[in-house]
Structure 1
Amino acid sequence: MLQSRVLTFDNPESYAAAVRATDVELLVTSSGDFSAELIQVDFGRLLMQRGADSLPRIARISSHSKRAPIVFLADVRQASVQQNGVEVAPGEIIVHSAGATSHQRTEGPCRWAAMSPTSEDLAAASAGIIGRELTPPSTTQVIKPDPRRMAHVMSLHEATMHLARIAPGTLAHPQLAKALEQELVQAMVTCLDAQPLAERRSGVRQHSRIVARFEDFLAARRYEPAYLAEICAAIGVSERTLRTCCHEHLGMGPIHFLWLRRMHLAHRALLHADPAIATVTQVATEYGFWELGRFSVEYRALFGESPSASLHRPAARAGDRQSWKRVA
């Protein structure tokens, strides 16, 4: 049964959790009101998604081992993004390695599109379309397809998402849905029949592995504060090396990244705490903020409200909305 849904968010955590075929963690890197939209169409064998988010952010993306996700920018006029420290422009495709983790950084609003067949379905479809089996690469790659082929897959993707938004009942026709899925798969495979862009400069892959160890350390302590000296000792690198890798992949040094992470952990804790029991002081000190006046000023600058206002928000978050459409 084909399924589609349209979701809107004002919470980056909920937005990240709703993305399918990958596990995503988002860290918003600037102040402002966050908003996002996610449209998903599941044909059964092919999963399609289209997302739009409003603020600069760093995404830690772990693809599922049985899927072969590809991602591209949905708007040819938007700015490039950084994928593992490499610039990805409109018209290029990120081909994820199965089960791998990567980092994507944006400097402003981002509109992205994704298609995720299973690895087995990709191999079978490509054998029939181009005469050879395509499989997920051993490491995440960026390819630049023929512009006409890329324009075709972008147009099909946009048209499908448009139907899911305004006329999901159209997708209820089995023959139309089957024909659309087949055309999408063919367009995707012909785009993937391209050579990856030139090998990255020396050292970047090693830096990717260091950042992966850094993120794995933080993931194991997802809701705990972490500090630079213990991280460097645990992952076996110097502070200087970690600083270079973080600037390359995350756009900031490790100290600022850890501060930003602790701020978001405190923000999450305040939103989920019971104001009858918890206090701002307790939450701030739990996440390593000892100068409470400075914490309040920086918190307001980042999140647009005082820590006390976050603590006293209603427990039910009203901003995330979704609508489901299921069609036979």
Structure 2
Amino acid sequence: MSWGRVLTFDDPFPYQSAFRAADMELFPTAKGEFRAEVTQVELNQLWMARFHEKLPRIQTGVIKRGRKAFGFLTKANQPELYSCGRPLSPGEIHVNNFEVTHHKSGGDFSSATVSLPREELAAASVAIVGREFPDTSARQFIRPNPRLMERLLALHEMVGQMAKTTPDLFAAAEVVRALEQQLVYTLVKCLTEGTVSTTTTGTLRHDLIVARFEEFLEANPNTPLYLTEVCAAIGTAERTLRIACEEHVGMGPIRYLHLRRMHLVRRALLRADSSTTVTRIATDHGFWELGRFSVAYRQLFGEVPSVTLKR
């Protein structure tokens, strides 16, 4: 059954589940109240979403197997969004091919996604333009004809507005079918009639390094990690890892490890029962100097750890 809905969030952890075509983790990089709104629409095969976020953040994750996902900006004048180290410009579409992807943004920005099952995209492409959209492993950015991109943006906005104001219309099969046909047609034309830019060999190498880095972090979620052992585990020199991390997440690996651990601590504090202490959770995540930890925690989240635990 097709549907549309609007969700609001004041915490990054539940917000992560709003990325339905991907498994994502999200780490705000500045202090402030987290606010996000997402408009979700599921048609027959096509999923789409519209996002607006207030805080700068790093987002990392993987696209769900079997689907092809595409992202683009919905506003021209806003903070830059970097996708795997490359700025995504207004009027461009990012083709999410890599299993591990990173997005870095400033605060107060808006973006959108569209995703289809791979076989549905292939069949639609053959029907519309006579050939399949290439399923390459290289990360791609496509700049469609401006007229086509404007049409995609307008359709996406219109369907998103329906989810906000008249969600009952998604119960009408013919309405859903017409909307999906228009969106798929316009998306395929944008993808196949645009200028394609692909990543260089050096960039691909850095993509793989950061992917191995993230896989190692995922395999050791609650273990204090140190740079020397990380580099040894993923087979990369410290300097190379530092350059790759700067490209993808806008900071070096030590700072990224610290940021990630701080957010994992906050998640643990919010989920803890009444018998758990701040000291236990902090030391479990490798923070031994509790005074410095408390100061850094307050600087990032605007409250001391004990307040988070009580909540």
1:270 equivalent in alignment to 2:269 = yes
Q: Are residues 136 and 7 of structure 1, via their aligned partners in 2, closer, same or farther at CA, if it must alter by over 3 Å?
A: farther
Residue number in structure 2 paired with 1:308: 306
Task: Please list the CA deviations of residues 267-314 of structure 1 after superposition, one character each: whole Å capped at 9, or x if unmatched.
Answer: 111111123x1111222222122221111111111111111101111x
Task: Determine if contact 1:54/1:110 at 8 Å carries over to the other structure.
Answer: yes
Tell me which amino acid in the other structure corresponds to 1:10: D
- SS of residue paired to 1:68: strand
Contact 1:96 1:136 survives alignment (8 Å): no
Worse overlay, 70-79 or 300-309:
70-79
Within 5 A, what are the aligned runs for 1:71-220?
71-97=71-97, 100-195=99-194, 197-220=196-219
Query: CA–CA distance in 2 between the matches of 1:271 and 1:224?
Result: 19
Corresponding position of 1:293: 291
Q: Which residue does the alignment assign to 1:227?
A: 226
Structure 1 unmatched ranges of 5 or more = 314-328
Residue matched to 1:326: none
Q: What amino acid does structure 2 have at the position aligned with 1:298?
A: A
Gaps of 5+ in 2: none
Displacement after TM superposition at 1:84 (Å): 1.1
Residue 280 of structure 2 aligns with an amino acid whose one-letter code is Q
Change (3 A) 1:186 1:18: same
Instruction: Provide Cα deviations, 1:148-172, integer angstroms capped at 9, x if missing partner.
Output: 1001000000000000111112333
Q: Distance in 1 between matches of 2:186 and 2:243?
A: 39
Equivalent residues of 2:95, 2:141 under 8 A apart:
yes
Write the distance in 2 (CA, Å) between the matches of 1:196 and 1:266: 44
State the alpha-carbon separation in 2 of the partners of residues 65 and 269 from structure 1: 29
Deviations 1:11-58 (A, max 9, x none): 111111231111111111111111111111111211111111211111
Aligned partner letter, 1:34: F
Distance 1:152 1:144, change over 3 A: same
Q: Matched residues, percent identical?
A: 47
- Aligned Cα RMSD in Å? 1.5
- Structure 2 distance, partners of 1:222, 1:111, is 30
**1:196 Cα deviation from its structure 2 partner:** 5.1
TM-score, length basis structure 1:
0.91
- Cα distance, 1:263 vs structure 2: 0.9
**Structure 1 residues 111 and 246 mapped into 2: Cα distance closer, same or farther (>3 Å)?**
same
Aligned partners of 1:172 and 1:264: how far apart in 2? Answer: 39
- Report the number of matched residues: 311
Tell me the residue number matched to 1:16. 16
- Contact 2:138 2:199 (C-alpha < 8 Å) held by counterparts: no
Question: Match of 1:155, as an amino acid?
Answer: A
3-state DSSP of counterpart to 1:69: strand
Q: Answer with 212-221 or 71-80: which moved more.
A: 71-80
Q: What is the deviation of 1:195?
A: 4.9
Cα 1:142–1:247 change in 2 (3 A) is same
TM-score where L is the length of structure 2: 0.95
Cα 1:288/1:61, change in 2 over 3 Å: closer
Give the structure 1 partner of residue 277 of structure 2.
279
| 1:70 counterpart residue number | 70
Give, in whole Å, the separation in 2 of the partners of 1:235 and 1:256. 18
Deviation larger for 141-150 or 215-224? 215-224
Equivalent residue letter for 2:16: A
Is the 2:3–2:167 contact (alpha carbons within 8 Å) kept by the matching residues of 1? no
For 2:154 and 2:15, the matched residues in 1 are separated by: 25
SS in 1 for 2:68: coil
1:246-271: per-residue Cα shift (whole Å, max 9, x none)? Answer: 11111001111111111111111111
Tell me the secondary structure at the aligned position of residue 203 of structure 1.
helix
Q: Deviations over 1:177-203 (max 9, x none)?
A: 211111111111110114554443551
2:145 and 2:194 in contact (8 A); partners too: no
Report if the CA contact (8 A) 2:16-2:26 is conserved.
yes
Q: Distance in 1 between matches of 2:193 and 2:221?
A: 38
Whether the 8 Å contact between 1:96 and 1:139 is mirrored in structure 2 is no
Cα pair distance change 1:223/1:53, threshold 3 Å? farther
Runs of at least 4 residues of structure 1 off by over 3 A?
194-202
